[in-house]
């Protein structure tokens, strides 16, 4: 282990370790406790170091550990993404897109190409930023995070229990998020993703990820949505009541958007007021739902 940093650099001095196995990494993280930070892509961690918002004793670089860079399509249609899979790799993965198109729709909105080429999907979720695209998708699909701890069996934590607050997850000292599982799309369902930012690649002032489910008659049976930048954690809202029983071709998606606006409690900041974000929830929901409904309709016809 070596020491990096100093007075002439922005980050504080820190140690660096590059374990070659998961067991070695977990043992080191267990020893370090709160003084250790995991380095995968570094697109969230390095800026925090540079701004001195975190000052770990040691960075544990997991990039040399085998078996963490796989994308696996499970038999039930869910998509498992390893801790070292870059956003760009997930974006380009054809089987993942076929299984869950929403993944590509959201991932294409993550920051800029340079960040997507290095940043990891699992790392962005572990960062637990409520303005992040992938946290919302994990919540909307009913996904989970697999967590490894030294000397114990890996455990799966549901998205609803993983996120505790802004930039706060249930990951404890000595633990490692080894993969995330995005839940399978329901039969006869469709999805869409929209976000609005001041500049392309900036954090969204608001984003909406939606799913619509229909029956064999193309009648709406379910509508769910998760939002970016409107709450401390990614929450899933059921909007079915606004359009239940309506045909996808004539459903009142505006009513669903207005219902969504009543369910969120966004904070305001220098980029957007609380009222403006609430209005964006309504507008983006109304625009995204017809796109998801069209896909659901197409899949329903294919299944007929």
Sorted by where each starts, the structural domains of the chain and their CATH numbers stand as 2-61 (3.30.43.10), 71-182 (3.30.465.10), 189-303 (3.30.390.50)
| The dihedral sign for the CA sequence 193, 281, 258, 161 | positive
Please report the pLDDT score of residue 3 as a whole number.
Answer: 44
Task: Quote the CA–CA distance of 188 and 273 in Å, as a whole number.
Answer: 37
Identify the band that residue 11 occupies on the pLDDT scale cut at 50, 70 and 90: confident
Going by the DSSP 8-state scheme, the letter that residue 13 receives in this structure is: P
> pLDDT tens digits for 259-281?
999 999 999 998 899 999 999 99
> What is the distance of C-alpha 240 from the center of its chain?
23
Burial string for 54-77 (b: 16+ CB within 10 Å, else e) reads eebbbbbbbeebeebeebebeeee
Task: Please give the radius of gyration of the chain, using alpha carbons only, rounded to the nearest integer.
Answer: 20
Task: Quote the CA–CA distance of 31 and 151 in Å, as a whole number.
Answer: 12
The answer to whether residue 223 scores a pLDDT higher than 80 is yes
pTM above 0.75, yes or no: yes
Please report the pLDDT score of residue 8 as a whole number.
Answer: 44
Q: What is the mean pLDDT of the chain?
A: 94
Task: Quote the CA–CA distance of 204 and 183 in Å, as a whole number.
Answer: 24
Task: Quote the CA–CA distance of 39 and 157 in Å, as a whole number.
Answer: 21
Task: Quote the CA–CA distance of 221 and 211 in Å, as a whole number.
Answer: 11
Please report the pLDDT score of residue 201 as a whole number.
Answer: 84
CB 42 within 8 A of CB 118: yes
Angle between helices 253-263 and 274-303 (to 10 degrees): 130
Category of 98 on φ-ψ map: left (φ > 0), alpha (ψ -120 to 50) or beta: alpha
> pLDDT tens digits for 67-96?
999 999 999 999 999 999 999 999 999 999
């Amino acid at each position: 282990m070596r020491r990096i940093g100093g007075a002439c650099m922005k980050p504080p001095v820190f140690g660096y370790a590059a374990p070659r196995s998961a067991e070695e990494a977990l043992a080191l993280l267990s020893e370090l406790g709160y003084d250790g930070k995991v380095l995968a892509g570094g697109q969230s961690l390095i800026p925090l170091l540079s701004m001195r918002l975190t000052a770990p004793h040691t960075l544990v670089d997991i990039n040399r550990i085998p078996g963490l860079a796989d994308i696996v399509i499970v038999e039930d249609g869910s998509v498992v993404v390893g801790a070292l899979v870059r956003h760009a790799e997930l974006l380009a993965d054809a089987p993942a897109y076929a299984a869950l198109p929403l993944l590509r729709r959201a991932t294409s909105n993550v920051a800029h190409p340079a960040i997507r080429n290095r940043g990891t999907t699992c790392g962005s979720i572990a960062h637990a930023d409520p303005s992040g695209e992938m946290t919302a998708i994990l919540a909307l699909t009913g996904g989970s995070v697999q967590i490894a701890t030294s000397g114990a069996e890996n455990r799966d934590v549901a998205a609803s229990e993983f996120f505790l607050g802004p930039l706060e997850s249930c990951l404890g000292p000595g633990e490692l998020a080894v993969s995330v599982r995005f839940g399978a799309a329901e039969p006869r369902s469709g999805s869409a993703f929209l976000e609005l930012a001041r500049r392309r690649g900036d954090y969204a002032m608001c984003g909406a990820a939606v799913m619509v489910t229909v029956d064999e008659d193309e009648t709406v049976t379910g509508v769910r949505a998760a939002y970016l930048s409107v709450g401390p954690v990614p929450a899933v809202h059921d909007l079915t009541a606004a359009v239940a029983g309506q045909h996808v071709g004539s459903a009142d998606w505006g009513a669903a958007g207005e219902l969504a606006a009543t369910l969120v409690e966004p904070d305001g900041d220098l980029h957007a007021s609380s009222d403006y974000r609430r209005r964006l929830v309504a507008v983006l929901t109304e625009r995204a739902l017809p796109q998801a409904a069209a896909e659901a309709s197409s899949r329903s016809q294919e299944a007929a």
